Amino acid sequence: MTIDDLEAWLRLAADRLHESAGRLTQLDQAIGDGDHGTNMDRGFSAIVAKLDAAREAATPAGLGADGSPDPAGLLRLAGKTLISTVGGAAGPLYGTAFLRAANAVATRSELSAEDAVAALDAAIAGIAGLGKATVGEKTMLDALNPALEAARAAVANGEDGPAVLAAAADAAEAGATATIPMLATKGRASYLGERSIGHQDPGATSSALLLRALADCSGAG
Ligand code: ADP
Ligand code: MG
């Protein structure tokens, strides 16, 4: 994936989060405070606004370490924007995920399937560290970790980039669905105790949405 593919991903993700804001908010109303849809919509709209401003000024967005645009620079821009514009738990968690992903691919001008695996691995470590969370606690990790495992398996099978990302998106969606019977032990949903059971986790749902958008971009590009 090139920096242009990544920009297309961020824009597609922003569109889909905007369309899905109502659904994400409904999910968060059931086991949280009902702001996840607006949180994600606000954050990704802010990312798109920065991308648009950079286009208008003809100054590339996402400058890397050497001052020219690269995938890591774009991921860093996304992470910083999410941290500064999204409140609640998801802003810092996703923001950290993007910053860690950027660090994992810091020297790359284009991202291979292996780079995508490394970026996802680093993103998950960032979320787990900041959220003090692990798999099975009904959080975004329950979509992202199965996605990482599926992507790793696909790479090991010698599949190409689009197939690796499609496998990751499929696993993330299955993982998000699998949060329904889970008991939440992290974040606001944990305050509900047993009453968190029977509802899909909003953060796992938005994580699956982000990975599906990534897969759809790579397939097209
Ligand atoms: P808030 O919970 O502050 O209202 P959001 O509603 O935007 O923030 O995000 C809630 C989502 O964040 C949850 O559905 C869950 O997936 C994720 N989350 C919350 N706390 C944690 C945590 N400690 N570790 C990992 N993910 C978490
Ligand atoms: Mg919330």
The 10s digit of each residue's pLDDT in 13-55 is 999 999 999 999 999 999 999 999 999 999 999 999 999 998 8
> 97, 123 in Cβ contact below 8 A?
yes
**In the structure, what pLDDT confidence band is assigned to residue 221 with cuts at 50, 70 and 90?**
very low
Nearest CA residue ID for atom 11, ligand 1: 203
Picking from 123, 40, 54, the residue whose alpha carbon sits closest to that of residue 82 is 40
What pLDDT sits at residue 219?
66
- What mean pLDDT is reported for the chain? 95
CB within 5 A of ion ligand 2: which residues?
28, 32-33, 35-36
What pLDDT sits at residue 220?
44
Write a three-state SS string for 93-106. HHHHHHHHHHHHCC
Contacts 24+ apart (CB under 8 A), 56-63: 61/7, 62/3, 62/6, 62/7
Mean pLDDT, rounded, for 108-118: 96
Pocket of ligand 1 (CB under 6 A): 28, 32-33, 35-36, 39, 88-90, 93, 127, 131-133, 139-141, 186-188, 201-204
pLDDT in tens, 124-154: 999 999 999 999 999 999 999 999 999 999 9
What pLDDT sits at residue 182?
98
DSSP state of 182: P
What pLDDT sits at residue 173?
98
Picking from 44, 125, 120, 122, the residue whose alpha carbon sits closest to that of residue 81 is 44
